[in-house]
């Protein structure tokens, strides 16, 4: 396939690197002002990988003109601004793949819905979600991920085309569940970081079981399949989010409760606000996500809030 990857951060550059390795014709786009792109243009590498000369580099969105698939890998809160730049190019009959995990803040709109507002109906939309860290993939450590789309043909085509020795792709069955599950696992990751920072890591088992249960309820309230929360988009991504040293959201939460700054993007910060607003509209109960929101945005005491979460009276486990 002819593929343009938009976004030259660690995920976007990894995707370009991976798809080139399995035989696709790849162009990587980044803004001319991006430090990541400036380094790729000068050295064709970052701290994790090297892009061979056959991977084209571009600072113009016009590079997507001949692409069959356009993969978007930018911060979730930057998607709308990017789509506003793409819309005047009026792309037709291209598959747009969202490789990002988040909800638009403050309202909690799913990212596929945001993208669809700017695209002609001839452009199908897919999402690429699930566990994995670039730091591990580039060392040859494999994982499983998910491709989902409202189009059965599109998701099968992409999963088959993108699969290789590094990643085994599964076909998603629920766009609502895939997107909500992937976004909300970052909020749970921040909660895991809170526990680490407070010396309460033993509570991660309870966090995982109860977190999955509450997200299943949210997915169901939104019209998705609650079982999606138990798949790779959410529960299956906990190992990479709740425990990994590479997890930005877990590390952000750990440093936050210790009063220390964190300079990397943690998507769960904005998602916590978005998901609480979304839950309020659909009537879903999200005690863990709401607790994270109160700690991050309302100055709630982290230790007291977490203790209340795990000691609150419950008649049954589920």
Residue 231 near residue 146 (C-beta atoms within 8 A): yes
> Contact 194/306 with Cβ under 8 angstroms?
yes
Strand ranges (E), the chain: 2-6, 25-29, 56-58, 69-72, 95-98, 103-104, 109-110, 125-129, 143-149, 167-171
Q: Which residues contact 103 (CB under 8 A, 6 or more apart)?
A: 76, 109, 110, 111, 179, 180, 183, 270, 271, 274, 275, 278
What's the token pair of residue 105? 């803040």
Supply angle C-alpha 79, 20, 1, rounded to 5: 75
Q: List phi, psi (to 5°) of 2.
A: -95, 120
Active site residue 185: yes
Among 185, 204, 313, 315, the active-site one is: 185
| Angle in degrees, 0-180, between the axes of helices 287-297 and 175-197, rounded to the nearest 10 | 60
- Within 8 A by CB and 6+ apart from 274, the residues are 102, 103, 104, 105, 106, 107, 108, 109, 183
> Catalytic residue positions?
185
């Amino acid at each position: 396939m002819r593929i343009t990857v938009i976004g030259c951060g660690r995920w976007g550059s990894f995707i370009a690197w991976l798809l080139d390795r399995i035989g696709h014709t790849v162009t990587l786009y980044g803004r001319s002002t991006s430090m990541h792109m400036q380094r790729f243009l000068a050295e064709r590498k970052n701290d994790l990988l090297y892009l061979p000369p056959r991977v084209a580099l571009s600072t113009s969105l016009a590079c997507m003109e001949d692409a069959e698939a356009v993969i978007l890998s930018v911060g979730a809160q930057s998607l709308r601004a990017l789509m506003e730049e793409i819309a005047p190019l009026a792309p037709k009959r291209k598959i747009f793949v969202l490789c990002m995990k988040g909800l638009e803040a403050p309202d909690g709109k799913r990212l596929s819905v945001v993208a669809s507002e700017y695209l002609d109906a001839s452009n199908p939309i897919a999402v690429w979600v699930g566990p994995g860290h670039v730091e591990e993939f580039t060392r040859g450590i494999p994982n499983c991920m998910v491709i989902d789309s409202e189009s059965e043909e599109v998701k099968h085509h992409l999963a088959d085309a993108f699969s290789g020795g590094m990643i085994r792709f599964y076909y998603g069955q629920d766009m609502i569940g895939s997107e909500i599950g992937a976004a909300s696992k970052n909020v749970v990751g921040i909660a895991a970081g809170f526990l680490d920072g407070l010396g309460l890591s033993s509570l991660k088992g309870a966090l995982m079981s109860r977190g999955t249960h509450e997200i299943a309820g949210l997915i169901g309230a939104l019209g998705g399949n609650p079982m999606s929360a138990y798949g790779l988009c959410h529960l299956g991504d906990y190992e990479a989010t709740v425990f990994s040293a590479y997890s930005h959201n877990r590390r952000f939460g750990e440093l936050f409760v210790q009063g220390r700054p964190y300079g990397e993007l943690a998507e769960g910060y904005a998602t916590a606000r978005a998901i609480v607003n979304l839950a309020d509209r659909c009537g879903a109960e999200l005690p863990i996500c709401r607790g994270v929101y109160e700690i991050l945005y309302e100055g709630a005491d982290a230790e007291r809030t977490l203790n209340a979460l795990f000691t609150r009276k419950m008649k049954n486990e589920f």
